[in-house]
Amino acid sequence: MRSLPCRLGRFTLFDHVGRGGMADIYLARSRDEEAGPRLVVIKELLPELALEPRFLRMLRDEATIASRLVHPNVAHVLGIEEEDGQLFLAMDYVEGIDLRELLGQCTKRKLDLPVRYRLHILCEVLKALAFAHGFVSEDETVAGVIHRDVSPSNVLLAFDGQVKLCDFGIASALNVAAVPAETIEGKASYMSPEQARGDVLDVRSDVFSAGILAWELLQGRRMYRAREGESLIELSRRAETPKLAPRGLPEEEVLFAIVSRALAVEPEDRFPSAASLRLVLARYLENTEQAVTSGELGGWLSEHFAEQKLARRRARERVLAALDRGPAVVLTAIRDSQAGRLAEADGWTNVRRARDAAPPPSAPRDSAPPPPVPRDSAPPQSLRDPEPPSSRGATRPSSRPKRGSPVASGAIAFAVTLALLGLLAKLGVV
């Protein structure tokens, strides 16, 4: 993980959001001369992945394709860049939380996320998938983009109710990479059986992954639970779907039948596309009077997560304000070489006082005592008061001793002594 804040290409990274199976995720600011400053998310590949040449080539290709996907339900990829041999992706920043965090917060706070909002989120995800599956580039070199990693952590929920799917096509690069087993294992919970086997995929693989997402949204827990000695990748290959537990929902048997079809083991038994699955779910919501808008979802999020939203925004604004002010100025104290103690840079009087107060250095035992200084001679140059650089060219201060200095006090005492001796002489005492 990088030490923050720091520069990475044209971006200033200032907050480490987290670490996934593929990358460290940072919040950053980009300065564009035309568009001005903007917040972005930077995903910097983990070092072990950055060493795999085939993976890097595949990732560049996929990221280039993903950057062409412009849709309200897709988190836009600004591009993939490289700095000092380190590859990273830049994406639009979405002020909100991801679905995994939302479900975790609801469980922790014992907060019920109504089913109508859960299914609305799923329908918005299916909109993004339908767009990507039907995407054709202008030069017709790209026809259809398969996501391959439809999971709660890739579903972003803006506080205003917008739902965006991120990381399009990125997981496909893992198919050609010698990546750590835990990276694949962490994504296996949302794989279709054909993806877990390494078969050639089509859009129905994403339909199965969306079916897993639907199952978990309705049951409030993970669909696959590996026992001791089992791996999630093996569970995904077998695709043994647990039965949905009744919840007393309107026309529940219709809803459960939709989810079961999406989770069919054989691709030909599933919905043929994400668009067809979304159409059936939307019809169910309308028939049961559970259809909601993104604005209503945003209202629910604001009601229950307003403090979290405000705290994050204030923290971010403080960091950005500090970045605008620039780096802090470090003041180094000046050490007086003769006095051997710290003094203020502009406190020349303090330097002299420190020097006068310092005890004389102890002389070696066998060394001869210093020669006496004639009374009328000037003090050596090394003992004279240092002249501050700022006084060059200015009128030199008077060399008369200041009132209260040791020299002035001695002169007064000597004068008083002479006066007393004179008085005593007149009186015949001395």
Q: Which domains does the chain have, with CATH numbers?
A: 94-323 (1.10.510.10)
* Choice among 149, 202, 206, 324 that is catalytic: 149
* Type of residue numbered 410: G
pLDDT of 267 reads 97
pLDDT of 357 reads 47
Integer angstrom CA distances of residue 352 from 153, 333, 393, 410: 66, 16, 21, 19
Is residue 24 annotated as a catalytic residue, yes or no? no
- Decide: 274 and 126 in contact? Cβ < 8 Å: yes
* Type of residue numbered 90: A
pLDDT of 421 reads 55
Answer yes or no: pTM beyond 0.85: no
The owner of tokens 């559970």 is 290
What SS3 state is found at 86? strand
* Type of residue numbered 402: K
- Decide: 161 and 298 in contact? Cβ < 8 Å: yes
3-state secondary structure 369-403: CCCCCCCCCCCCHHHCCCCCHHHCCCCCCCCCCCC
Which portions of the chain are predicted below pLDDT 70?
33-36, 169-186, 327-430
Task: Point out which residues pair with 157 in neighbouring strands.
Answer: 97, 163
